[in-house]
Structure 1
Amino acid sequence: MGAEELPSPLPKKDKKAPLVLGLQSSALVDHVARVDWSLLDQISGERGGSQLVAIEELEHILNELKTHILPTPDDPSPIVTIAGGSVANTVRGMTVGFQVTSGIIGAFADDEQGRLFVHNMSSNGVNLSRLRLKKGPTAQCVCLVDAVGNRTMRPCLSNAVRLQADELTREDFTGSKWLVVRYAISSLEVIRAAIRIAKQEGVSISLDLASFEMVRNFKSPLLELLESGDIDLCFANEDEAKELLRGEQNADPEAAVGFLAKHCQWAVVTLGPNGCIAKHGKEIVRVPAIGGTQATDATGAGDLFASGFLYGLVKGLSLEECCSIGSCSGGSVIRSLGGEVTPENWQWMYKQMEVKGLPLPDFCKP
C-alpha cells in the first residue's frame, strides 16, 4: 500500500551505520498463543506453515483463542503480543544476544501495533532511523503453537503500511556489511530494489526462504533471485528445502544444500531437532542441535539460528563454529513462548557456548 509518508518521530540516521540491516517492508506485531488441536483443525491451510489471511479471519482467530488456550502453568501470560516478523526477530537477536549493531528498514503506522513494534525494537537497541512512518494500519500475525511446540502462522498484511521500492536510498545501506531479507512475493519489488542498491554499496545479502508455501507457490521468482548471484548466504528449513527440489530425483537436505551452494557462498539447511547441514565452497559440515530440550514454541527458531550464524560470520569464525552458535541461539528461543529470547535463556545460551568452547560475545567476557 503506497500510504502517505509522515514526518517520523524516530531519530535521524546515525553517522555510524549498523553492521547488519534487516529489510522488513511492513512492521509486524505477533500474537503468540499455545492452543489445542481443535482450533488448528478449524483454520484453513496446512498446519505448520504460514499463509496470508484477511483482517476478518485474523480477528476471528484472535476471538477463538480464548476458548482454545492450552493451560501452561510456567507461562505468566497465555498470549504474548510482541514485535514480530522473521527479520525483526533476527536483528533483535543480534543486537541483544550478541551486541552486533543492527537496524531495520521498513514502514510502521502510528497505531497501537505500530507503537508496540517501535517500543519493543528500540528498547532492545535496534536502530529504527530507517523506519518510515505512514498512514494506515500496522501488519499483524497470529502464531498458533501446538502441544509439541510446532507453530502455525497466519499473517495479515492486507492494507498494512508498507515500504515501497522507490523509497529506498543508497544512504539506507551505506556503511553496513550485511542485509537480512526474507523471501515474500508481496515484497518482491522492494526486495529486488534493496538487493540492487545494497550490492552497489558493497553489502552482502542473507536470504531466508520464509515458508514451504512461499517456495511451493512462488518458486520461479525465487530461483531467479538465487540464480542472479546476488545472494551470499541462504537459509532454508527442511520443509522449504524439500519444496525447492520437489520433482527432483534426490530432494534430501544434502542435495538441497548442494543446490543452494551453487548460487550462494554459504548455504544452510536447518533440520529442527536434528541440527543443521551447511556448505561453504567445498566444505560441508553437519552440526547437531544443542540443548536437547522439548520445544515450548518453535516460533523464531530459524530466525535466531540466523542471528547466531551471522554473528559467527561477522566475527570471522569457521563454518562449523557459525553453525554451532546458530544452534545455540536457535535453541535459546524455543524454550519460551514467542520469537524474543528471555534474559534467562540468553544466559542458558552463553553457558552452552562456553561448554562447547565457542567464542562468546565480548561483553560476556570477565
Structure 2
Amino acid sequence: MQDLYDVVGVGNAIVDVIASVPEGFLDTHRIRKGGMTLISQDEANKLTEAFGDNCRRIPGGSGANTIAGIASFGGTTGYIGKVANDPLGKFFRKGMEKVSIHFPTPSLEKGPGSASCMIAVTPDGERSMSTYLGASTEFTASDVDADMITGAKILYLEGYLFDKDAAKKAFVHASQIAKKANRRVALTLSDSFCVDRHRTSFRHLIRGHVDLLFANEAELLSLYETSDFDSAIESLRKDGATAAVTRSEKGSVVITPDEIISMPAEPVRKVIDATGAGDQYAAGFLYGFARNRRMRDCAKLGHIAAAEVISHYGPRPETSYRQLAVKAGLL
C-alpha cells in the first residue's frame, strides 16, 4: 500500500482567538488558569468582546496544530475535522491550505457555527482556554475518510474529540480502519478533564488500539489515578503502551516496554506563550516516528518544536521546524 501521508490527524477544527491579559482578567471572567473549559456560543461572544482589539485569530485545534507542525518539518499531512460554512470555517480552511495540509472534510451547512477557542495569556506565559466546540461536535463516522487513513503511516487522534457520542464512534471507527490497514495509531489525551471523563474508554483504547500515546504529567497521573509519577509509568508499561510524556521545564520521558528515556527540554530565553507546546512536541515526535528515527531523536525533535512555539504568541510555528532540525544536525 502506497504511503500518501506521514500523518493524518482527526480532531476538533477550531479557530484560536488569543489575547494577552492581566492576571485579574481570569478571575473577572471565571476562567480556570492553565486549563480548558467548555463554554457556550454566548459566552464565547462575550469573551470576544472582552478581548477587544487585543487579540489575533489563528487556525487552531490541538490536533490541527500538531499536523501544521509536522508540515513545518517537511512531512506530508492530512486532516479530518468539521467546520461550518461560515467566516470562521472559511478562515480555518484557508489556513490549513496555506501550509499544504490536505483538508477535504465537507463543511457543515446547517447547525452550529464553527468552533472557537478563546485563549487568555497571562504575563507568566500561561494559557487558559475557554472553548466553544460548535460545528466540531457535529463530526460523525460519515466524515471519516477511509482512503486518507489507509494512505497514512500514522493516524493521530485528538482526545478532545472524545467528548460527544457521535464523535467518539467516529474516533473508534477511524482507529479500526487504521488497524485493519496495518497503520500505526497515535493518541493524545489532550487535557486532564478529558481523562477524568473518559478514563475507562481511553485505557481500553491504549491497551488494544494505540501504538503511541502522548500525555503531559498531569494527564498520565489522572489516567492511572495516582499522585506518583513512577507508579503511573509502571502502570503504563503494564498496559503495553509506548508513550511520550511531557513534564514542562523538566523535559519529557519516553516510555516503551523495553526502556525509559528521559530527555531535557530545549533552552528558551523567555516563555512568551505556552499555547501549543504539547501539540508541537507531538509534531516533532510524530515526524521522527513516521520517518523511523530512534526514540531519543523523536523526543529531541519534539523539544525543538516546543521551544520554538513557546517563544512567540500562537500555537503554530513561525520559524521553519525543518530549518531548526537541520541546524541541530537531526535532518
Check conservation: 1:295, 1:334, Cα contact below 8 A: yes
Distance 1:169 1:78, change over 3 A: closer
- Counterpart pick for 2:128 among 140, 145, 152: 152
Work out whether 1:251 is the aligned partner of 2:224. Answer: no
Deviation at 1:44, TM superposition (A): 3.5
1:216-295 equivalences under 5 Å are 216-227=196-207, 229-246=208-225, 248=226, 251-252=228-229, 254-295=230-271
Determine which structure has more spread, i.e. the larger CA radius of gyration: 1
Q: Deviations over 1:336-355 (max 9, x none)?
A: 11111113xx37x8447634
- Counterpart pick for 1:122 among 80, 97, 104: 97
Deviation at 1:296, TM superposition (A): 0.6
Work out whether 1:327 is the aligned partner of 2:300. Answer: no
Work out whether 1:18 is the aligned partner of 2:5. Answer: yes
1:128-139 equivalences under 5 Å are 128-129=103-104, 131-135=105-109, 136=111, 137-139=113-115
Q: TM-score, normalised by structure 1?
A: 0.83
Check conservation: 2:271, 2:311, Cα contact below 8 A: yes
Q: 2 CA distance for matches of 1:177 and 1:35? A: 41
Q: Which residue of 2 aligns with 1:199?
A: 179
Work out whether 1:34 is the aligned partner of 2:11. Answer: no
Q: 1 CA distance for matches of 2:178 and 2:29? A: 39
Q: Deviations over 1:322-363 (max 9, x none)?
A: 1111111111111111111113xx37x8447634x4x22xxx
- Counterpart pick for 1:164 among 136, 140, 154: 140
Runs of 5+ in structure 1 lacking a partner? 1-14, 67-76, 361-366
Q: TM-score, normalised by structure 2?
A: 0.91
Check conservation: 1:245, 1:256, Cα contact below 8 A: yes
Check conservation: 1:328, 1:353, Cα contact below 8 A: no
Deviation at 1:315, TM superposition (A): 2.0
Q: 2 CA distance for matches of 1:160 and 1:278? A: 31
Distance 1:271 1:324, change over 3 A: same
Q: Which residue of 2 aligns with 1:99?
A: 74
How many percent identity over aligned positions? 28
Q: 2 CA distance for matches of 1:318 and 1:160? A: 35
Check conservation: 1:150, 1:298, Cα contact below 8 A: yes
Identify the structure with the greater helix proportion: 2
Q: 2 CA distance for matches of 1:204 and 1:275? A: 25
Check conservation: 1:296, 1:335, Cα contact below 8 A: yes
Q: Which residue of 1 aligns with 2:291?
A: 315
Q: 2 CA distance for matches of 1:262 and 1:232? A: 14
Check conservation: 1:21, 1:104, Cα contact below 8 A: yes
Deviation at 1:88, TM superposition (A): 0.5
Distance 1:16 1:178, change over 3 A: closer
- Counterpart pick for 2:44 among 58, 67, 86: 58
Deviation at 1:161, TM superposition (A): 6.2
Q: 1 CA distance for matches of 2:200 and 2:32? A: 22
Aligned-residue CA RMSD (Å): 2.1
The letter of the residue matching 2:171 is: I
The letter of the residue matching 1:126 is: I
Q: 1 CA distance for matches of 2:270 and 2:238? A: 34
Q: 2 CA distance for matches of 1:44 and 1:117? A: 28
Deviation at 1:226, TM superposition (A): 1.8
Distance 1:151 1:51, change over 3 A: same
Q: 2 CA distance for matches of 1:172 and 1:341? A: 24
Deviation at 1:271, TM superposition (A): 0.7
Deviation at 1:220, TM superposition (A): 2.1
Deviation at 1:152, TM superposition (A): 0.9
Deviation at 1:78, TM superposition (A): 3.7
Q: 2 CA distance for matches of 1:225 and 1:42? A: 39
Distance 1:16 1:267, change over 3 A: closer
Deviation at 1:283, TM superposition (A): 1.4
Check conservation: 1:232, 1:266, Cα contact below 8 A: yes
Q: Which residue of 2 aligns with 1:141?
A: 117
Distance 1:296 1:267, change over 3 A: same
Aligned residues: 324
Distance 1:169 1:337, change over 3 A: closer
